[in-house]
Amino acid sequence: MSRYSALDRFALKAATKAAELVMAPANRREVFDQFVMTATAVTELSAHMRRVTFHAPEFASFELTGPDEYFGLMVATGRELVMPADDRINVRSALRAMPEDVRPDLRWYTIRAHRPAVAEIDVDFVLHGDAGPGTRWARRAIAGDKAGFRAGGSAYRPPADGSVLLVADETALPALSAILENETRPVQVFVEVPDESYRVDLDVEWVFRGADEPGSAVLKAIAGKALSTVDYGWACGESGLATGMRRLLVKDRGVDRKAVMFSGYWKVGSARL
């Protein structure tokens, strides 16, 4: 018997079908594992990115659904981490049911690397001050710190053949890097970042937005390009970048809307919950 209620399972199925009407299908899970993990190492990758390595026995049997596997990071708002009930598919509803004084904060991140042999994962955090609970936690993280893990899924699911276009901003660099490590075909890749200091060692076309609105620079750059045929598009980052890229591909370039995966990882002026 499923650990989830019939209502929860129906809601998940309905939400999945609704999403697939307007975008490319994602890789989905049936069971959303949830457990506590421990930070075992912290590595400074750049001035803007910090890697935290986590260990939990459950990672030994955990399986990724795709290269851009995401998960819910839960961090304590009080002195100790209290996890929500694990009998609900919708983790947000499980969190809302908790008393406010013990309810952890939830933010979503990419699993940058998974090493089941040693029951570890790496998570790369793009640092932007104390703008949200995720970056605030990551900036102060040390070995021994606890955090909650809630399985999510993955979005990258291109056809076996065909041309692929990938568009990202700095917050989607961990997901993009994982995709490129697993992708064997030639792909077209554009990355928008604030300035040169955000560049990492990836063979992509870099676009610098400076003080412009997130997404505006890369959309302008791609609009002026004579791209090859796009059979599948993946656009992740700030909400305006993701939705703007989808609009450009579908309305201006004639790409099937069900061949474009887009996700707003964050939105200017608001927190992503």
Interatomic CA distance for residues 27 and 16, integer angstroms = 10
pLDDT bin (cut points 50, 70, 90) of residue 26 is: very high
On the 0-12 / 13-18 / 19+ scale of CB atoms within 10 A, 266 is buried
Interatomic CA distance for residues 262 and 202, integer angstroms = 21
Query: What is the number of helices (H) and of strands (E) in the chain?
Result: 6, 12
Half-sphere CA count of 151, side-chain side, radius 13 A:
21
DSSP state of 251: I
pLDDT bin (cut points 50, 70, 90) of residue 113 is: very high
Name the CA dihedral angle for 269, 168, 150, 76, rounded to a multiple of 10 degrees.
-40
Q: What is the pLDDT of residues 82-104, one digit of tens each?
A: 999 999 999 999 999 999 999 99
What would the mean pLDDT of 237-263 be, rounded to a whole number?
Answer: 96
1 pLDDT more than 50: no
What would the mean pLDDT of 97-120 be, rounded to a whole number?
Answer: 97
> Model pTM?
0.93
Kindly report the number of other CB atoms within 10 A of residue 108's CB atom: 16
Interatomic CA distance for residues 173 and 195, integer angstroms = 14
Lowest mean pLDDT among 29-33, 35-39, 225-229: 225-229
Encoded tokens for 242? 């993701």
What would the mean pLDDT of 117-131 be, rounded to a whole number?
Answer: 91
Interatomic CA distance for residues 26 and 251, integer angstroms = 22
Look at residue 78 in the predicted model and tell me its pLDDT: 84
What letter represents residue 36's amino acid?
V
